[in-house]
Amino acid sequence: METITLSTTEASVLGLVAFGERSGYDLAEDAEKSIAYLWTPSRSQIYKVLPRLVAAGLATSREVAQQGRPDKSLYAITLRGERALRAWLDEVEEEPVGGGIVFVLKLFFCDFASEGTALAQLAGYRRFLERRLASYEALDRDPGEREFVYPWITLQHGLARVRATLAWIDETVAAITSKSSSPPVSRPR
């Protein structure tokens, strides 16, 4: 079976489609209300990606007639699309092109994957942040970094953010692992 490589934008649009059949307009609205703090696609990006997903067999499209307005297309994920989405979610990149936020974006869609996938993404994010923390701490130990006030203050911001995110990862892993000892809840397919 052929492996499909998805860009972050394609995978994110496919992930939004996985939540249920919707139009491109609805998907843009959903993105604005849900993942905009992680990933902010333009409407034009979403409208460009949807036909590509259909052409690749990852989504279907059907036309719906509307009164007094142009017809609209509704998109739904296919089984092939579900497999491609899971493959994207399962891939843990050590240095994602989109930066560390890719780990959190993938976590957002982990209802369509296993808890093991969520934990693997969190572990990858931890490794990514630990490397970043080490480089920030090395800068912080360099006396030359304190020559100017505002670059040093900005470095302190970076240190605080990385440490806070590492604490969030620990809390999230604990929540996921304690949840997995509870009875299973139904998941979207």
- Kindly report, residue by residue over 69-84, the tens digit of the pLDDT: 888 999 999 999 999 9
pLDDT confidence band for 42 (50 / 70 / 90): confident
The predicted structure's pLDDT at residue 79: 97
Which residue bears the tokens 């036909």?
51
Closest C-alpha among 37, 161, 52, 162 to residue 104: 37
Residues 92/100, Cβ–Cβ less than 8 Å: no
The predicted structure's pLDDT at residue 180: 63
Interatomic CA distance for residues 67 and 187, integer angstroms: 35
The predicted structure's pLDDT at residue 13: 95
Task: Report the chain's mean pLDDT, rounded to a whole number.
Answer: 90
Please state the domain extents for the chain: 8-92, 114-179
Cβ neighbours of residue 177 closer than 8 Å, sequence gap 6 or more: 119
Interatomic CA distance for residues 184 and 189, integer angstroms: 14
Report the CATH fold assignment for 8-92. Arc Repressor Mutant, subunit A (1.10.10)
pTM: 0.86
Torsion of CA 53, 59, 62, 67, to 10 degrees: -70
Average pLDDT of the segment spanning 175-179: 89
Interatomic CA distance for residues 108 and 42, integer angstroms: 19
The predicted structure's pLDDT at residue 2: 66
The predicted structure's pLDDT at residue 189: 43
Strand order in the sheet with 59-64: 22-23, 72-77, 59-64
- Per-residue model confidence as pLDDT tens digits over 138-169: 999 887 767 888 999 999 999 999 999 999 99
